[in-house]
Amino acid sequence: MELRQVRYFLALAEECHFGRAAARLHVAQPALSQQIKQLERELGTPLFHRSTRHVELTEAGRELTGYARTLLAEAERARVHMTELATGRAGRVSVGFIGTATYDVLPRVARTVRAQLPEITLELRGELLTPQLVDGLLDGTYDLTVLRSGSAPDTVSITPLRTETLVAVLPTSHPLASRRQISLAALSDEPFVVHPAGTRSAMHDRVLSACRRAGFEPPSLVEVGETATLVVLVAAGHGVALVPESVQSLRLDGVTYVPLAEKETVGLVLGRRATHQAPAAQQVAAVIEECVRA
């Protein structure tokens, strides 16, 4: 049973007249009659009672009407969905976010995609480290990643999103917490709470390099994987920290964010595989760029 036959059957079932049904379908009446007869042969039962003046559905024809309407509706749904997939208006897209982008970028992206691309299903993972994001991008876990610059291989295509200034995170009770800004060197005697060392985090080396430029090495380090946990440990008095300014959207009792006199910055980028991407992923990538740069 072909969709064309189903359309012809429904037109005749609704018009109960070969001439009117043929005109509605923009086909010749003999062609319509031939398709209906062929459908009846395939189904093994007559669908219409015919006379010189009247066309009427048989019991089988009445039963088939509901199925036929469902078939055509599903076919149209499939056509629309395939068009949406081809144009990036539908699909499933997985996005991973560096910890510091979890607090301001991720919520904006989720809201915007829901409003502008409601047929796209987003899988969002936040509070990840850059090496995890790169690995996830390469093995297909993520279609897109928001991560730190300077840490992706050539197989990853990078789009710069923004440059962020580092700020100090101090316990609210710290003597310098009330200052409008502080020199990084003023923290030279403080233990630092940092992200993991080595290849596990892009921020670890950035923070220690900034300290060296200020003329000191932190006396001790407390390593922690998640940015939210890092801020909590500062609030608990385990040390001080440096974070991108966007982390200030993470408001916790017991901590104060203080600008630095020095301008230390880190870059935020959008990563994607250099190979072909699905249209839906391209649409979400455009939304991420819009949300970060707005």
Residue type, 236: A
Joined together, the tokens standing for residue 66 give 């509901």
Range in 33-42, 85-94, 132-141, 241-250 the model is least confident about: 85-94
Q: Which helix (H) or strand (E) holds 73?
A: helix 59-87
Q: From CA 232, how far away is CA 241, in angstroms rounded?
A: 11
The SS3 assignment for 256 reads strand
- pLDDT tens sequence across 80-97: 767 766 766 668 899 999
Query: Which distant-in-sequence residues (6+ apart) come within 8 Å of 169 by Cβ?
Result: 193, 230, 231, 234, 240, 241, 242, 243, 247, 255, 256, 257, 258
Query: Which distant-in-sequence residues (6+ apart) come within 8 Å of 2 by Cβ?
Result: none
Average pLDDT, integer, range 233-240: 96
**What are the chain's domains?**
3-85 (1.10.10.10), 91-155+270-293 (3.40.190.10), 162-267 (3.40.190.10)
Question: How many CB atoms are located within 10 Å of the residue 41 CB?
Answer: 10
- Specify the DSSP class assigned to residue 254: T
Q: What is the pLDDT of residue 213?
A: 96
Average pLDDT, integer, range 10-14: 90
pTM of the model: 0.68
| Higher-pLDDT residue of 34, 275 | 34
- pLDDT tens sequence across 36-89: 999 999 999 999 998 877 899 999 999 999 888 888 888 877 777 677 667 666
Q: From CA 231, how far away is CA 239, in angstroms rounded?
A: 10
Q: Tell me the Ramachandran region of residue 250: left when phi exceeds 0, alpha when psi lies from -120 to 50, beta otherwise.
A: beta
Average pLDDT, integer, range 18-33: 91
Range in 133-147, 175-189, 228-242 the model is least confident about: 133-147
Q: From CA 132, how far away is CA 66, in angstroms rounded?
A: 52
